[in-house]
Amino acid sequence: MSCHLPSNKSKNGKSNKNTINIALAGNPNVGKSVIFNQLTGLSQTIGNWPGKTVEKMEGYLDFLGYHFNIVDLPGIYSLSTYSLEEIVSREYVVSDDVDLIINVIDATNLERNLFFTFQLLELKIPMILAINQMDLLRKRNLDLDFKELEKIFKLPVLPLVAVHGTGVHQLLEEAIELVVYRHPHSHYMRRRSKASSHHGHHYYRVEHIHERSDPKVNIQKTFEFPNLFEITNFGKEVELKISVLIENIDRYTQKFSSCNYPSRFLAIKLLENDSEVLKIFTENQEGSRIIELSKGYREQLEELHGEDINTIISSEIYNKIKKVVDFVLITKAKKNVKRTTVSDFIDHLTTHSIFGYIILLLVIFGIYFFTFSIGDFLGGLLDDRFTIWSNFIHANFGENNIWVKIIWDGGLGGLFGAIGGVLVYVIPFFLVIEILQDSGYLPRAAFLMDRVMHSLGVHGKTIIPMILGFGCNVPACAGCRIMETEREKKISVALTSLIPCAATMTVVLGLVGRYLGFYWILILFIINFTVIFIVGKLLNKTLPGQCTELIMEMHEYRVPNFKVIIKQTWVRSKEFIFKALPIIIILGIVLEILLIFNALEPINTILYPVTFLWLGLPSITGVFLIYGILRKELTLVLLSVLANSLNSSLIVLLSPVQMIVFSLVTMLYIPCFATIILIAKQTNWKYAAQIAILEVGLAILIGGIIRFGFLIFSGF
């Protein structure tokens, strides 16, 4: 297949002359992100793939005179096209942007991880196998024969303990050795050849021996691509069909020049009826004929084996994997009686059918307590400081000065509000989540809640951000990035945004709790969670696709690596700092300008049919609810200010029915601008707008129903 040469500039503007592009690929939870953070440090960017909503992590570093661009691909289990993440990853690794794949493998789950490895081998791209978490494997009195692994795969195979940085930089040494010196046909060497052709220089010979930084290690071996017919042979009948398809594909190579996939990979995917590969062959008549040929072969093989083609091929791969694992896995001498480790004991408790849920509740409370103890303390300090500074500014420049209102009250007020009201909660939240993730607890929590969450169209992982939504919806929605598919991410952010956050709880407790009692708070929560259940069911029915099964590796518990945790916390937090904060500042300035010109007064008139006629609330509450989009607790603050200005109290200003309706609407309508921004970042602006409209509509509809229900049945 023909390839398209990349430009001679890397993404940061450096010449491609000494640039090596690496893709980190592997299953979820194998340590790719840890390796990525160890290598790139703070030199990272987070974005989306062009035209896609799948998150893209990129980083770079300079090492031994080479510039490395590293992309951390989404964690996937295969090169199928069942999810957008799999499609994006597959398209990227065969592009000319990739010189080398580092396939990260969990040493404690070799059989599952090597399935993906066997599929990557079919792409014929220079690759290093990074066997991570060797420390956990050795704790089980097991080890691997790395020399035999290299002989079997004919690829470099390196042991790693990524959380401690062991073996990570050896990956870069091996990458230079493999890409620059051993593979003259790699994308890197094509770039070098293209760059040097203008000057007549000759660069590296294939047989050049590169000395590593460790003088004791002498590389005197030549790595080749594995003989795929030996390693991934699918049996006589299947291989016969594949070989015929390859002949037909190669015969019309020029017809499929836009494709970078090897012929054998295409042949296998044609047999598997891969939707993305089928698109390649529907462009011309010869391709359509090959599709028909593959369809006939597929039907013959399925009739012969009595199973579908995917099962046939997967079974052959797993048979090979089992032989490899049995051959390279070394069992060390150990005592006859197996000791129950502390990790085993904790694992048993945290997944127990009774104690597991008790521990989960305690963990939730601990997250809430830690996040909001830190956040409230820091937020209080910032609020006090901003009040002192505001008094000084107002005293010296005038409280009614238009520029003071726009720049200080609007712009800097929005900044301090975002930092003191959101960021001080975001950072502690991500910190504690990273600790739970690195220690191994989060997969246990997801496992416990999986059955419940499936009824809402998502799997157990969704419970993690939903739980944290009780603290703040912003970091909770940001946490929805842990979902594997776009569909599950969309449902998760919608459900999480409906969780009553701490600011909402302030309103509920300050009105209903204070004046009506706990009984009515409980009723409001029942209504709220009924709405969440209905929305989940609705999205599950309307969004295309199906809920995936929860597949998570239950790693052993371990002591978290705080260096890695701090780096990852910063990576997650800086997206809010650099993307959400500027928007919040702009919104603060716009709102202040509207206030200066009394542009909000007409809003009360416009909202009168909704606030007064339908919801039965004082008409002024329309403006208060709009303020609540910035911070929910502002609705209660403004109500209190209004009551004080009238020399009255909230119980006089609002009737019990109005308190219940006002609190319920506050619970259900869009959380805040920051949350909507985060939803847009996780999905897209169109979906964020749809969620906002849905939640506002539900809040108004249910609020009116509750109001008229009280009028009809209770006589309030």
Quickly state the pLDDT bin for 14 (edges 50, 70, 90): very low
Q: Is 636 a domain residue?
A: yes
Residue 147 lies in a domain: yes
Range 418-444 average pLDDT: 77
Question: How much of the chain exceeds pLDDT 90, in percent?
Answer: 14
List the Cα angle 126/131/136 in 5-degree steps.
170
Q: Domain of 289: which CATH number?
A: 1.10.287.1770
pTM: 0.61
Cα gap 588→582, rounded to integer Å: 10
Tokens 């072969």 sit at which residue? 297
Q: How far apart are CA 441 and CA 449, in angstroms?
A: 13
Please enumerate in sequence order all residues whose Cβ is within 8 A of that of 23, keeping only pairs 6 or more positions apart, or say none: 70, 71, 73, 92, 93, 98, 100, 101, 102
Asked whether residue 335 is domain-assigned, the answer is: no
Q: State the Cα–Cα distance between residues 476 and 495, nearest whole angstrom.
A: 10
CATH of the domain at 221: 3.40.50.300
Pick the last residue of a domain from 172, 206, 225.
Answer: 225
pLDDT interval class at 131 (50, 70, 90)? very high
Q: What is the pLDDT of residue 645?
A: 55
Other C-beta atoms closer than 10 Å to the C-beta of 685 total: 12
Residues 523 and 595 grouped into a single domain: yes
pLDDT for position 195: 41
Whose structure tokens read 């000759």?
A: 202
Higher local confidence (pLDDT), 221 or 116: 116
CB–CB of 71/92 below 8 Å?
yes
pLDDT at 149 over 80: yes
Please list the alpha-helical segments (H only) found in 272-412. Answer: 275-281, 285-305, 309-328, 342-350, 355-397, 402-403
CB 290 within 8 A of CB 270: yes
Task: Quick: pLDDT tens for 491-531.
Answer: 888 998 998 887 787 788 778 887 888 788 889 989 998 99
Our measurement of the distance from residue 574's CA atom to the centroid of its chain's CA atoms, rounded to an integer in Å, reads 15
Higher confidence at residue 338 or residue 425?
425
Amino acid in the structure at residue 375: G
Answer for the pair 97, 170: CB distance below 8 angstroms, yes or no.
Answer: no
- Residue 546, pLDDT above cutoff 70: no
Tokens of 291: 């599709």
Choice among 536-545, 690-699, 703-712 with the minimum mean pLDDT: 536-545
Does residue 625 surpass a pLDDT of 60? yes
599 and 658, same domain (yes or no): yes
Q: How much is the pLDDT for 459?
A: 66
Please check whether residues 491 and 613 belong to one and the same domain.
yes
Of how many residues is the chain composed?
716
Determine, yes or no, domain membership for 259. Answer: yes
Same domain, yes or no, for 202 and 309? no
Sorting pLDDT into bands at 50, 70 and 90, what band is 571? confident
Do 201 and 274 reside in the same domain of the chain? no
pLDDT band at residue 11 under the 50/70/90 scheme: very low
Query: Which sign does the torsion angle of CA 538, 541, 542, 545 carry?
Result: positive
Q: Mind giving me the DSSP string for 426-459?
A: HHHHHHHHHHHHHHT-HHHHHHHHHHHHHTTTS-
Residues 692 and 586 in one domain: yes
The mean of the pLDDT values for the chain is 78
Give me the pLDDT at residue 107, please. 92
Q: Enumerate the β-bridge partners of residue 408.
A: none
Query: Do 249 and 134 reside in the same domain of the chain?
Result: no
Is the pLDDT at 700 greater than 90? The verdict is yes
- Are 564 and 571 contacting, i.e. CB atoms less than 8 angstroms apart? no
Q: What is the pLDDT of residues 465-486, one digit of tens each?
A: 787 777 678 777 877 776 767 7
Rounded mean pLDDT, 362-381: 79
612 and 673 together in one domain: yes
Say whether both 284 and 379 belong to one domain: no
d(Cα 160, Cα 132) in Å, to the nearest integer?
Answer: 4
Long-range contacts, 302-309 (Cβ 8 Å, 24+): 304/237, 309/271, 309/272, 309/273
Question: What are the residues whose beta carbons fall under 8 Å from the beta carbon of 236, sequence distance 6 or more?
Answer: none
Q: In Å, how far are 46, 365, 482, 691, 699 from 477, measured between CA atoms?
A: 16, 19, 10, 13, 20
Q: Are residues 147 and 47 in the same domain?
A: yes
Task: Decide which of 63 and 472 is more confident.
Answer: 63
Q: Which of 204, 225, 246 is the C-terminal boundary of a domain? A: 225
Q: Do 174 and 280 lie in a common domain?
A: no
What are the respective helix, strand and coil percentages of the chain, to the nearest 5? 65, 10, 30
Identify which has the larger pLDDT, 560 or 685. 685
- Structural domain including 303 reads 229-330
pLDDT given for residue 197 in this prediction: 36
Confidence of residue 102 (pLDDT cuts 50, 70, 90): very high
Highest mean pLDDT: which range of 23-27, 181-185, 566-570, 629-633: 23-27
DSSP state of 141: T
Mean predicted confidence (pLDDT) in 169-178: 89
Half-sphere exposure of 268 (CA within 13 A, CB side): 26
> In the structure, what pLDDT confidence band is assigned to residue 127 with cuts at 50, 70 and 90?
very high
- For the ranges 76-90, 452-466, 471-485, 551-565, the maximum mean pLDDT occurs at 76-90
Complete DSSP assignment for 142-182: EEE-HHHHHHHH-S-EEE-BGGGTBTHHHHHHHHHIIIIII
Average pLDDT over residues 596-606: 78
What pLDDT does 706 receive? Answer: 92
Report for 141-150, 347-356, 451-460: range of highest mean pLDDT:
141-150
Please tell me the predicted confidence (pLDDT) of residue 338: 53
- The stretch 199-213 carries a mean pLDDT of 33
**389 domain-assigned:** yes
Which pLDDT value is given to residue 586? 79
- Regarding whether 415 and 307 lie in a shared domain, the answer is no
- Domain end residue (candidates: 193, 225, 257): 225
Averaged pLDDT for residues 707-714: 84
Q: Record the tokens describing residue 131, joined without a space.
A: 């066997």
**pLDDT band for position 600 (cuts 50, 70, 90):** low
Q: Pick the more confident residue, 229 or 667.
A: 667
Cα–Cα distance, 314 to 546 (Å, whole number): 22
Residue 193 resides in a domain: yes
Residue 342 lies in a domain: no
Distance (Å, whole) CA 539 – CA 535: 6
Query: What is the rounded average pLDDT of the residues 18-38?
Result: 88
Domain membership of residue 350 (yes or no) is no
Total domains, the chain: 3
